[in-house]
Structure 1
């Protein structure tokens, strides 16, 4: 079974592309969703995050305070690295467990943070112009302002870095059609 990564900058349209692949029957591992689940329910992670960021990383009801954490880590590169060091190995382990119950020609691991040496056979990058990504994010993430979004974009790989690791590129601008691009890649991956 091929392990295929699906990545791209925030607001590029990874989730939409993943949904299109899932409609074709491809199992999708959504790293961000799984990370959220682990962050809220795995005691070891909760303890380590509280140790790193303080008790205020979680609400009194025990929910992960995404707004507080985002504001803290996206203004401090070392804190962001430390948080990633807590969460990413657990997500990798969770993905490996998930793989054991899949039965398909290929699976997709959707993740914003991905490297060429991530143990994946192929990588699909969703590419979208920065101004369009910002427009999408301002509409989607109403709790974030433009400065916060630009800070997040600064902390991510550049479009060039994403494209360097791509085996396949899906252009998600306002001119390109997504479905034909997804179908073309799907056909290549099942052949």
Structure 2
């Protein structure tokens, strides 16, 4: 079974692309969703994050996402520390998930697949891109965030130019119809790949 990485900057539309693959019957693992579940349920993650960020890191059983986001987004060292706690757990969870799938290939969708080195464990990586102005408009509409907040989040991710050097396939996601056609073409190619 092939592991296909799917990534892209904030607002690029990687979740939309993942949904299009899902509609074609491809198993999709969305790392961000699984990470959120694990931060709320893993006692090990909870203990380590409280040790790193303090008791306020959790509100009852759930991660205090706003508090954590405020702490890490302007502090690279803390951000790296939080990632070092969460990413290995998500990676182990993903391996377990893959072992239960019965498809020619699966997709692992992760926002920071290149930044955290996860791309090295993929057979191919698809990068979703869109012009910066389009990405900002999408995130403003989705998250009700200011342009300044969005730009700050973008600074914590590699630029599309950096990612393109490592990507195997690039989907420029501006028009849904064109993107859907591209996904179908990629799916047809990937479905013919010999399994490992």
TM interval, shorter chain, is over 0.9
Pairs within 5 Å for 1:37-186: 37-59=37-59, 61-115=60-114, 117-142=119-144, 144-174=145-175, 177-186=178-187
User: Aligned partners of 1:128 and 1:58: how far apart in 2?
Assistant: 35
Which residue is equivalent to 2:33?
A: 33
SS in 1 for 2:88: helix
Q: Deviations over 1:31-59 (max 9, x none)?
A: 00000000000000011111111111111
Secondary structure, counterpart of 1:56 in structure 2: helix
Alpha-carbon distance in 1 for matches of 2:143, 2:52: 25
- TM-score of the two chains, using structure 1 as the length reference: 0.94
Task: Report deviation, 1:146.
Answer: 2.4
Q: CA RMSD in A?
A: 1.4
**How far apart are the structure 2 equivalents of 1:2 and 1:175?**
26
What are structure 1's unaligned runs of at least 5 residues?
none
Is there any run of 5+ residues in structure 2 with no aligned partner, and where? none
Distance 2:88 2:63 in 1: 19
Deviation at 1:122, TM superposition (A): 0.3
Aligned residues of 2:39 and 2:62 also touching (Cα < 8 A): no
Deviates more, 1:26-35 or 1:128-137: 128-137
- State the match for 2:188 in structure 1: 187
Q: CA deviation at 1:151?
A: 1.0
Which segment drifts farther, 124-133 or 111-120? Answer: 111-120
Count of aligned residue pairs for this structure pair: 189
Query: Matched residue of 1:118: which SS?
Result: helix
Query: TM-score, normalized by length of structure 2?
Result: 0.92
